[in-house]
Amino acid sequence: MLSTMQDVPLTVTRILHHGMTIHGRSRITTWTGEAEPHRRSFAEAGARATQLANALRDELGVNRSDAVATLMWNNAEHVEAYLAIPSMGAVLHTLNLRLPAEQLVWIVNHAADRVVLVNGSLLPLLAPLLPHLPTVEHIVVAGPGDRSLLDGAAPQVHEYEELIAGRPTTFDWPELDERTAAAMCYTSGTTGDPKGVVYSHRSIYLHSMQVNMAESMGLTEKDTTLVVVPQFHVNAWGLPHATFMTGVNMLMPDRFLQPGPLAEMIERERPTHAAAVPTIWQGLLAEVTAHPRDLSSMASVTIGGSACPPSLMEAYDKLGVRLCHAWGMTETSPLGTMSNPPAGLSAEEEWPYRLTQGRFPAGVEARLAGPGGDFLPWDGESAGELEVRGPWIAGAYYGGASGEPFRPEDKFTADGWLKTGDVGVISPDGFLTLTDRAKDVIKSGGEWISSVELENALMAHPEVAEAAVVAVPDDKWGERPLATVVLREGAKADFETLRAFLAESIAKWQLPERWALVPAVPKTSVGKFDKKVIRKQYADGELDVTHL
């Protein structure tokens, strides 16, 4: 028997319409670096998104299913693109502005982007690539920047504001199949070519609803979220669409992502929530330790992308800011878990839950695959590779304009689950604790050592600013840990002291023998520790290694 319910497609168009009408007074505030930030209501942003859709179709000839790229910071215009492009049936393709040039070129060509919306300040990055981007027919420039960099460029150049000015604020939005492509994002390709994940209208709609659940980020119109996580990093974790559903105000840092301006915008604009990777919060902590600022408006912060050191959580607790751990990937839209402890616990009882990556929300099914192809119990002890499935989880990668979607065996199981490449345990009540990425785990004499556990323990030392641990080859054990450490200014701790400190919480056989001081831990394009680079530095003899 079929149901008797209406079959209304779940589309971004509906999110746009809802936000601009029901929550028309909510605001997007964009930091400008000047005395006053720029403020725009959801009603205005929605109207401008509609004008943009008209311009893209009528002036630039964008058709359904065409890929339209953005190379932009987090700002109101980028949100407009997020709403306009999918709603008209085209595909929003966010470009990671921190990728090396050759990867950006590869990605734009693979996606066959016809248009690039770019912030003026990023023209020095885009202009030199243009001769290698034959599919790009139009460039649309928004915000300050030197336009002369585009002199002689093959694509047609347009000014964002001029392009949308005077266009209709209505559009005959197509009634889209909810399974059509709405947006795409490429994984950063730490191994092999980048892989494109194509989100559907339905996946974005359902993911946005989950982001908004009280058990997840749980924000309302009374909140303002500081969206530090870039819009090119898995759709800013879903926030631009989720906020349009619930009227949560957005505070957008644009290109002012350094700790100083972030501290200033928090103190002045008083956001109640923020989202970013741990390295951002490490940097901000160092800043406010040196120059105190009031961060206490941020009742909650969603932190994810890599493991959150417990010491960081403790430090923010003292500032009245509660960090809430979340886990996800480009392939999972990204919300996969969030760590809100079960109800009714004391602060002390909550603590071990807060340290986990969190619980799976409705919509994300999980299982742990053991080494022999068996599935492991959720007993908090059996460690295996996490596999997930659900309506906002990728089932394949984009095959390019002429290719079929593909499902590499190391990423998808025969029965359609995503293999995350993350290793961990799940407690009987469904809380996930990741011990490592499969490729970062240290395999020492048949036993596994968690690099994350060593890093967290090291970063709990008061004189350690950052620490990254990688596996390096060892004649006797196969692999052993190498600890690379960034000390705080004026720190006096030596390696013996740090090793003794580790020995207080880590089994003796896991303690690193190899140590190196480094000025900074290398980071990936989205701000995670880049362990591949550290392993290469070690292999190339570039690190000054002490053996204890």
Give the residue with the Cβ less far from ligand ADP, 180 or 330.
330
> Which residue of 9, 24, 218, 421 would you call a contact of ligand ADP, by CB under 6 A?
421
User: Interface with ligand ADP includes 330 (CB under 6 A)?
Assistant: yes
Stretch that binds ligand ADP, among 129-137, 252-260, 420-428, 498-506 (CB under 6 A): 420-428
Residue 139 has, within 13 A of its CA and on its CB side, a CA count of 24
> Which residue of 190, 382, 413, 537 would you call a contact of ligand ADP, by CB under 6 A?
190
> Which residue of 230, 259, 271, 304 would you call a contact of ligand ADP, by CB under 6 A?
304
Q: What is the contact mask toward ligand ADP in residues 521 to 540, using x (rule: CB under 6 A)?
A: -----x-x------------
> At closest approach, how far in Å is the CB of 67 from ligand ADP?
20
**Does the active-site annotation cover 411?**
no
Give the residue with the Cβ less far from ligand ADP, 227 or 245.
227
Task: Give the active site residue among 187, 272, 337, 435.
Answer: 187
Q: Is the peptide bond between 334 and the residue preceding it cis, with omega within 30 degrees of 0?
A: yes
Helix or strand run (H / E) with residue 545: strand 545-547
Q: What is the contact mask toward ligand ADP in residues 356 to 375, using x (rule: CB under 6 A)?
A: -x------------------
Stretch that binds ligand ADP, among 26-34, 86-94, 299-307, 480-488 (CB under 6 A): 299-307
Task: Give the active site residue among 289, 314, 349, 443.
Answer: 443
Q: What is the contact mask toward ligand ADP in residues 128 to 167, using x (rule: CB under 6 A)?
A: ----------------------------------------
User: Interface with ligand ADP includes 306 (CB under 6 A)?
Assistant: yes
Helix or strand run (H / E) with residue 106: helix 101-111
Stretch that binds ligand ADP, among 167-175, 395-403, 415-423, 495-503 (CB under 6 A): 415-423
**Does the active-site annotation cover 187?**
yes
Distance in angstroms (rounded) separating the CA atoms of residues 505 and 237: 34
> At closest approach, how far in Å is the CB of 223 from ligand ADP?
22
> Which residue of 66, 80, 254, 422 would you call a contact of ligand ADP, by CB under 6 A?
422
In one letter, which amino acid is 298?
M
DSSP 412: B
**Does the active-site annotation cover 331?**
yes
SS3 content of the chain, % helix, strand, coil (to 5): 30, 25, 45
> Whats the size of the chain, residue-wise?
548
Question: How many residues contact ligand ADP, by CB under 6 A?
Answer: 22
> At closest approach, how far in Å is the CB of 87 from ligand ADP?
25
**Does the active-site annotation cover 448?**
yes
Burial of 350 (0-12, 13-18, 19+ CB in 10 A): middle
> At closest approach, how far in Å is the CB of 312 from ligand ADP?
12
> At closest approach, how far in Å is the CB of 521 from ligand ADP?
15
Distance in angstroms (rounded) separating the CA atoms of residues 541 and 260: 35
> Which residue of 420, 433, 435, 456 would you call a contact of ligand ADP, by CB under 6 A?
420
CB atoms within 10 A of CB 101: 12
Give the residue with the Cβ less far from ligand ADP, 276 or 434.
434
> At closest approach, how far in Å is the CB of 327 from ligand ADP?
4
> Which residue of 10, 117, 126, 307 would you call a contact of ligand ADP, by CB under 6 A?
307
Site residues for ligand ADP, 204-233, by CB under 6 A, read: none
Q: Which of 21, 27, 14, 81 is nearest to 53 (CA)?
A: 81
Stretch that binds ligand ADP, among 160-168, 184-192, 221-229, 405-413 (CB under 6 A): 184-192
Please give the residue whose beta carbon sits closest to ligand ADP in the complex: 188
Q: What is the contact mask toward ligand ADP in residues 471 to 510, using x (rule: CB under 6 A)?
A: ----------------------------------------
Give the residue with the Cβ less far from ligand ADP, 311 or 330.
330
> Which residue of 99, 329, 423, 459 would you call a contact of ligand ADP, by CB under 6 A?
329
> At closest approach, how far in Å is the CB of 180 from ligand ADP?
23
> At closest approach, how far in Å is the CB of 237 from ligand ADP?
10
Q: Which of 169, 143, 173, 172 is nearest to 51 (CA)?
A: 169
Q: What phi, psi does 532 have (nearest 5°)?
A: -60, -45
Residues in Cβ contact with 151 at an 8 Å cutoff, skipping those fewer than 6 apart: none
Contacts 24+ apart (CB under 8 A), 285-290: 285/312, 285/315, 285/316, 286/259, 286/465, 287/259, 287/260, 287/262, 287/263, 288/259, 288/263, 288/319
Give the residue with the Cβ less far from ligand ADP, 155 or 194.
194
Torsion of CA 338, 342, 348, 349, to 10 degrees: -120
Residue 521 has, within 13 A of its CA and on its CB side, a CA count of 26
> At closest approach, how far in Å is the CB of 314 from ligand ADP?
17
Q: If DSSP states are collapsed to H, E and C, what string results for 254-275?
A: ECCCCHHHHHHHHHHHCCCEEE
Is the CB of residue 117 less than 8 Å from the CB of residue 160? yes
Q: Which of 486, 420, 410, 423 is nearest to 449 (CA)?
A: 423
Q: Distance between the two ends of the chain, CA-based, in angstroms?
A: 71
Going by their DSSP bridges, the two strands 442-444 and 115-119 should be labelled as unpaired
SS3 385: strand
SS3 383: coil
> Which residue of 327, 397, 417, 495 would you call a contact of ligand ADP, by CB under 6 A?
327
Give the residue with the Cβ less far from ligand ADP, 89 or 304.
304
Which residue carries 């339905």 as its tokens? 202
> At closest approach, how far in Å is the CB of 196 from ligand ADP?
12
Helix or strand run (H / E) with residue 279: helix 278-290
SS3 380: coil
Residues serving a catalytic function are: 187, 331, 443, 448
Which residues are near ligand ADP by CB under 6 A?
A: 187-188, 190, 234, 304-307, 325-330, 357, 420-422, 434, 437, 526, 528
